[in-house]
Amino acid sequence: MREHAALLERLGADVVRVRRPEEFATVSGLVIPGGESTVIDKLSRIFKMRDPIRQAIRNGMPVLGTCAGLIMLADTVLDAIEGQQSFGGLDVVVRRNAFGRQTESFEADLSVPALGAEPVHAAFIRGPVVESVGPAATTLGALDDGRVVAVEQGALIGISFHPEISGETRFHERFLDHVEARRPEPNPTALTPAARR
């Protein structure tokens, strides 16, 4: 989360950490970081953030979800724990912890044509895999073996890995472009987990 905030600030965004609905109401974009999706799910309900976030996603708020954040954005989650819910918004099926023990953490270079010719250097840490991409979502990037690890749908971006720890800035730039595109005037505002003016 600290890495996301630092990166967004370097890109010129005004970053706020959002824990409560009052804070969330002030932001124009949201980053859902990695961590543990089961915990994010539980805390979002305890702090009454689940409904506001779902509503904001429905209203087109730009969201960047990394790793557990992608799980939270997926419409369908496989290998979830009992009762685990996502916010949804991305027409994809993801599988948690899909890389197995041997390869829980690894780095890989991916081609992500939407971000330019330069490959994305991605760090995977117990990340999910996108097992299927529905008609409303678009694949942004896949591993060499074809497994999808980056998707987009409107202003929602979901990626299985952690660009913020490998110095990759282009997903955050794309997220801020979405934020800016929805604002009447410039001055993007992003925060971790959400952004505000």
Write out the residues near ligand GLN by the rule CB under 6 A.
Answer: 34-37, 67-68, 71, 96-97, 125-127
- The single residue of 4, 82, 152, 162 carrying the catalytic annotation is 162
Annotated active-site residue 178? The verdict is no
Helices and strands (DSSP H and E) totals, the chain:
6, 12
Annotated active-site residue 36? The verdict is no
- The single residue of 4, 67, 152, 180 carrying the catalytic annotation is 67
Taking alpha carbons only, the member of 173, 168, 164, 161 closest to residue 3 is: 164
CA distances from 127 to 6, 52, 159 (A): 22, 26, 9
Give the residue with the Cβ less far from ligand GLN, 82 or 185.
82
Q: What region does 20 belong to: left with phi over 0, alpha with psi -120 to 50, or beta?
A: beta
CA distance 76 to 37: 13
- The single residue of 4, 152, 164, 178 carrying the catalytic annotation is 164
Give the residue with the Cβ less far from ligand GLN, 34 or 62.
34
Contact 45, 90 (CB under 8 A): no
Distance of closest approach, residue 105 Cβ to ligand GLN, in angstroms = 9
CA dihedral 76, 79, 82, 86 (to 10 degrees): -30
Distance of closest approach, residue 149 Cβ to ligand GLN, in angstroms = 13
Give the residue with the Cβ less far from ligand GLN, 47 or 182.
47
Annotated active-site residue 9? The verdict is no
Distance of closest approach, residue 32 Cβ to ligand GLN, in angstroms = 10
Joined together, the tokens standing for residue 141 give: 């990037």
Give the residue with the Cβ less far from ligand GLN, 97 or 139.
97
So which residues are the catalytic ones? Answer: 67, 162, 164
